[in-house]
Structure 1
Amino acid sequence: MDYIRHRKPILIAGLCTIALIALPRTALADASGVSFWLPGTFGSLAATPVAPGWAYETIYLHLQQSAGAGKNFVTTNGIPGSVTSGLNARADALVEGVTYTWATPILGGQAGFTMLAAPGNLGVGIGASLTGPLGNTVSGVKTDNRTTVSDVFYQGTLKWNQGVNNEMIYVAGNIPSGTYDVNRLANLSFGFTAVDAGAGYTYLDPKTGHEFSIVGGLTYSGPNNALQYQNGIDAHLDWAASQFISKDVLVGVAGYYFQQLTDDTGLGAKLGGFRGMAVGVGPQIGFLFPVGDYQGYLNIKGYADLEVQNRPQGWSTWVTFAIQPKAPEPPPTAAPIVRKY
């Protein structure tokens, strides 16, 4: 299976923070039980170098999250720092991104830079608003539906390859788009800035088609001044394992572990430290195909939360399509010269 070495796809799961935009603001950030980082963002082949040049990525992302009436979350709800009980949220986003990968090595590795943003539609419902910052109690059901755009996201990567071993470091974050509305339940913009950094490893054996990837990172979030709330520091670990069953098809499984390390802070942190945790897993399948002089890649994967703490629980579906330059083919092996006398 030597073809794998010369046809490595760029897996969009290697693009950090792409899906962070896709949960509604009332279910986003540790304030509402979900962080800036969306678990499962990284996947198979995350650390493998790719062909230099420009690449295009698009991801359709669907998320469905819910929490029973016994689960409380700090939300916007028109009142900074208000506490609500019960939550149902749905999001559909279309992430669009471009990546440039340099051919000239930097520190012996391959450097790349990505910019992404997404339009999307969000629907949010909460069961009851319990208390506001002045102690007022309000009950009832409130819903919101909104079509808007996300923040702008960036990521820089540096990757190295030594045979079957591939390593990566990355830094990612967001640039606020200005569409955040403190009076709306549904937002694709965060209302604060955040930075995430980490490292990853991919094992890829071109002869057997075995692949395994693991990426870990830490997220620091700035304060949300409208909510008077600042998320704690989060740690995340994404992993994936796959098998090439032919030169153009891979199948596998992916999962994540997320753990908030420090407490949420600020006057709006009515629920105290409110540290979150999540464990999830799901299947994936990928397809390679030519697109003119470029390499196309389609990946479909899904995750289900197995266990959560202080977060809504649910599932997500990712459909990723990417086009990138083809890797150069190896030079043909010259036939040996046979001398006859």
Structure 2
Amino acid sequence: MTRELSEPSFRGWLIHSSVGVAVLMLGSLSQVAYADEGGVSFWLPGQFSSLAATPQVPGWSMAEVYYHTTVSAFGGVAAAREITIGRFAPTVNVSLNASLHAQADLLLLNPTYTFATPVLGGQLAIGMTGLFGRSAASIDGTLTAGFGQFAAMRMGSIGDSITSFGDLYPVATLKWNAGVNNFMTYLTGDIPVGAYSPTRLANLGIGHAAIDGGGGYTYFNPQTGHEFSAVAGFTYNFKNQDTQYQNGIDFHVDWGASQFLSKQVFVGLVGYVYQQVTDDFGQHPILGGFQSRVIGVGPQIGFLFPVGDMQGYVNLKGYGEFDQANRPAGWNTWLTFSISPMAPTSTVTPTRHMVTK
């Protein structure tokens, strides 16, 4: 391995932090893919990973992300979706002999502008993410609803799919650098303009607004190529006016660890922990608080290359999920291409770890 990463290479790799921004708000991916109402959350775990808190080269950047997920769930999650879409309204109990399966293929576009003028001593960036794609879901099995002394049984399969646009997700980040230590804070939210209907099993919008904020840290040493990042945040969900359902507050941590093998190539691990910390409001009593949880971990690889006078970047990462509660779980992959300004070669100072902003 090269003893020390060159300054242009290091500054170029900082586009990875904008990649995290590019996929900040993907709860809209599918109304059956992730928690809370019916198993759906605003926050999609895995949005941040390596170098999330490192400052970037000022100017415009663009990230394109192809995202695929395949998940499944049993019991309460399947019953919650049937209740949400109005297939039945049990008053006493439900047998949970049913399974839900869902997958989604999405394309996300995220233009971001990074300001050169410091704000509160840090580097401000703002962006907007939009998505287009396809979501599909199905429920199979038997659901038995109790009505006093009577019971109604539903058998068979329900399927749905949609190809359309999702919600819009504005985001702002503020980052500070102190040698090998980097710090950040972020604020994002959901503008519910995507394809959504409370009677559909699959959607590309979540049907309500949300706001999410938090902070993160990155350790990066260009001399050794060692890096570790972690970003934590909370989501507050507003009420879905179509269903009168309000998700609880969600807590999430995304992390990434990587090692440069050369000036252009790195490998590492990524992971996340997602935990709902307060109960939902408006859920059917048989569902209880319906607090959701999931953990994911997987590998990543990245490659840097010039694109004319710009910096190109490709990253592939994947997560396998486990320890889920009240939400589907499975696996997901992210293929990212990003282009951003190239760091001026005149700023190279080989004996320094970072460029002072």
Is structure 2 residue 11 aligned with structure 1 residue 6? yes
Deviation of 1:278 after TM superposition, in Å, equals 0.9
- SS of residue matched to 2:162: strand
Q: 85, 101, 109: which one pairs with 1:77?
A: 85
**Counterpart-to-counterpart distance in 2, 1:28 and 1:311:** 6
Deviation of 1:73 after TM superposition, in Å, equals 4.2
Deviations 1:239-283 (A, max 9, x none): 110001000001000011111100011155651201111111000
Aligned to 2:44: 38
Aligned to 1:254: 270
**Counterpart-to-counterpart distance in 1, 2:56 and 2:278:** 36
Deviations 1:123-153 (A, max 9, x none): 1001255559999654331001111110011
**Counterpart-to-counterpart distance in 1, 2:34 and 2:89:** 14
Q: 161, 170, 176: which one pairs with 1:154?
A: 170
- SS of residue matched to 1:223: coil
Q: 114, 137, 142: which one pairs with 1:101?
A: 114
| Equivalent residue letter for 2:265 | V
My pick for the range that moved more, 51-60 or 260-269, is: 260-269
Judged with a 3 Å threshold, the aligned counterparts in structure 2 of structure 1 residues 299 and 40 are, in CA distance, closer, same or farther, namely: same
- SS of residue matched to 2:63: strand
| Equivalent residue letter for 1:307 | D
Q: 237, 240, 249: which one pairs with 2:253?
A: 237
**Counterpart-to-counterpart distance in 1, 2:234 and 2:79:** 23
**Counterpart-to-counterpart distance in 2, 1:178 and 1:304:** 28
CA-atom RMSD in angstroms = 2.3
Q: Contact 1:33 / 1:312 at 8 angstroms: preserved in 2?
A: yes
Judged with a 3 Å threshold, the aligned counterparts in structure 2 of structure 1 residues 273 and 267 are, in CA distance, closer, same or farther, namely: closer
Judged with a 3 Å threshold, the aligned counterparts in structure 2 of structure 1 residues 260 and 329 are, in CA distance, closer, same or farther, namely: same
Aligned to 1:339: none
My pick for the range that moved more, 124-133 or 111-120, is: 124-133
My pick for the range that moved more, 198-207 or 123-132, is: 123-132
Aligned to 1:125: 138
My pick for the range that moved more, 34-43 or 44-53, is: 34-43
| Equivalent residue letter for 2:27 | L
Aligned to 1:228: 244
Deviation of 1:178 after TM superposition, in Å, equals 4.7
**Counterpart-to-counterpart distance in 2, 1:218 and 1:133:** 38
Judged with a 3 Å threshold, the aligned counterparts in structure 2 of structure 1 residues 322 and 132 are, in CA distance, closer, same or farther, namely: farther
**Counterpart-to-counterpart distance in 2, 1:183 and 1:72:** 14
Count of aligned positions: 332
Aligned to 2:355: none
Is structure 2 residue 319 aligned with structure 1 residue 320? no
Structure with greater helix share of residues: 2
Is structure 2 residue 82 aligned with structure 1 residue 56? no
Judged with a 3 Å threshold, the aligned counterparts in structure 2 of structure 1 residues 267 and 317 are, in CA distance, closer, same or farther, namely: closer
**Counterpart-to-counterpart distance in 2, 1:249 and 1:332:** 20
Deviation of 1:33 after TM superposition, in Å, equals 2.7
My pick for the range that moved more, 88-97 or 8-17, is: 8-17
Is structure 2 residue 74 aligned with structure 1 residue 68? yes
**Counterpart-to-counterpart distance in 2, 1:191 and 1:136:** 30
Q: Contact 2:35 / 2:328 at 8 angstroms: preserved in 1?
A: no
Deviations 1:96-116 (A, max 9, x none): 110011000000000001101
Deviation of 1:122 after TM superposition, in Å, equals 1.1
Query: Percent of pairs identical after alignment?
Result: 48
How do 1:172-321 and structure 2 match up within 5 A?
172-266=188-282, 268=284, 270-321=286-337
Deviations 1:193-233 (A, max 9, x none): 11110000001101111110000000011111222211110
| Equivalent residue letter for 2:207 | G
**Counterpart-to-counterpart distance in 1, 2:130 and 2:145:** 34
Aligned to 2:104: 91
**Counterpart-to-counterpart distance in 2, 1:213 and 1:80:** 45
Q: Contact 2:25 / 2:42 at 8 angstroms: preserved in 1?
A: no
**Counterpart-to-counterpart distance in 2, 1:34 and 1:175:** 16
Q: Contact 1:211 / 1:243 at 8 angstroms: preserved in 2?
A: yes
Deviations 1:272-328 (A, max 9, x none): 201111111000000000011110110000000122111112000000110001112
TM-score, reference length from structure 2: 0.87
**Counterpart-to-counterpart distance in 1, 2:348 and 2:102:** 55
Residue ranges of structure 2 left out of the alignment (5+ in a row) = 350-357
Residue ranges of structure 1 left out of the alignment (5+ in a row) = 334-341
**Counterpart-to-counterpart distance in 2, 1:261 and 1:213:** 23
